[in-house]
Amino acid sequence: MRHVARFPIHDLALMKRRLLAWTDTYPIGACLDSNAQSEKSNQSWECLVAVGAADFFRANSGQAFAGLQAFYEQKKDWLFGFFGYDLKNEVEKLYSAHPDGIGLPDLYFFQPEIVVGIRPVELPPDGGFGGTARNGVAHLLEISSISMLPDAVFSAIQNTPVPKPATPAVTLMPRTAKQDYLATVEAIRQHIIAGDVYEMNLCQEFFAEKVQIEPQAVFVRLNERTRAPFAAFLRIEDRYLLCASPERFLQKKGTTVLSQPIKGTRRRHTDVQADARAREELRTSEKDRAENVMIVDLVRNDLSRNCLPGSVRVDELFGIYSFQTVHQMISTVSGTLRPGTHPIEALRDAFPMGSMTGAPKVMAMQLIEQYEQARRGLYSGAVGYFSPDGDFDFNVVIRSILYNAASGYLSCQVGGAIVYDSVPEQEYEECMVKIGALVASLGA
């Protein structure tokens, strides 16, 4: 049984920093931050934190989804964790043979001892509220704990010191030389011309070995620079994910599932007119629209496997969203689940997400294994949570730093969709745009 209590927040930014620091005091913990975009991104929480493993389930590709479903049915509680990209080998008859310097399992979920969430709340007409409010909205912190009483948890959070964000600079090395990447883009174009695929997501790894960083400090830098709506700090003992994702993989609220694939990226500019031109160029780009609509069709097909006939719809096509470092083209697809569909089943049948594979999906994944040089692992997987009422929300793990503190291996992967109209140099430049915030956060 969980003990639940709510507390007013007097300083939202400070509370978030304390929650992050408090999360990092546990060997197992997750901090999910919508960066004040919870309403725009249809999220239930402004920030959601889980620490301590009352129990956990980990597995590699094989029977991972079935094992998670049994764990889910046993607990019927909060579960936080991730799906790694290489679960593709369980969903389809595929394999992964590339090196992996991080060493996470393909799937990991834990039942947290303590869950802490921050919700925005509208002020009553008389304005009475114990916290700091802006524009008629304040925030409440909700604590749900199996062991400690909520008052004790709140006191522990309040007393957690917030360290200064300092960490040594890290220089990344490319696993794939630029000329080799350009040649690979052209090779994939030939597959498209031959009719093997219509679109393929090609990624490359930038890495460092035997480095020491302060993961919390790097995440603070990354999060302040990007303010992404699906940011995540995840610690599984000595493995870390520092994620600034703008993309949602799949959300379930009641009987509705919703996916928001991204295809189309432009760099932000400090000059207002140049920034407006970049945004308009993205909005009118036939190439980016073609990439986007191909993945929208793939997502519609994935959701249709478990949704009522006729219920899958495109709520928004080619939406242009501006974040702190990039403009993105985002579409929204939703549907109504058939009665009796298990949440794990809905996730499994849409995994891996089409925006990180291509179309047709299976052939795209075969070519990904053929042409990429590093195992994706958690990159292009999904991090998120299941709530006790059976809902869930998962991001797409992109714009991320993965770190193995035991070995000092650090990995950043970036990529983009290759289509017939792709120009190799432009695809490489898009990778550089995407990795820019990661490099800056590492102090390089």
359 CB-near residues (< 8 Å, 6+ apart): 197, 198, 199, 294, 295, 297, 298
Nearest to 140 by CA among 319, 309, 310, 10: 10
CB burial readout 88-122, b (16+ within 10 A) else e: bbbbeebebeeebbbebbbbbbbbbbbbbbbbbee
Collect all residues with Cβ–Cβ distance below 8 Å to 209 and sequence separation of at least 6.
Answer: 101, 407, 408, 409, 410
**Which residues make Cβ contacts (< 8 Å) with residue 417, sequence separation at least 6?**
199, 200, 201, 202, 263, 291, 295, 355, 358
> Which of these, 34, 119, 115, 120, lies nearest to 388 by C-alpha position?
115
Cβ(236)–Cβ(387) below 8 Å: no
Q: Which of 90, 247, 372, 427 is catalytic?
A: 247
Cβ of 300: how many Cβ atoms within 10 Å? 18
Q: How many helices (H) and strands (E) does the chain have?
A: 11, 20
What the block records as the tokens of 34 is 């919508």
Chain centroid to Cα 168, Å, comes to: 25
The reply to whether 361 belongs to the active site is: no
Short-list 146, 109, 140, CA closest to 122: 140
Take residue 382 and report the two structure tokens written for it: 């999904």
Q: Give the Å distances, CA to CA, from 345 to 85, 244, 339.
A: 16, 27, 12
Q: Quick check: 246 and 321 in contact, CB under 8 A?
A: yes
Q: How many CB atoms lie within 10 A of CB 409?
A: 19
Angle between helical axes of 178-193 and 361-371 (0-180°, round to 10): 150
Residue 286 falls in the annotated catalytic set = no
Provide the token pair at 324: 């702190």
The single residue of 16, 263, 361, 434 carrying the catalytic annotation is: 263
Residues carrying an active site annotation: 247, 263
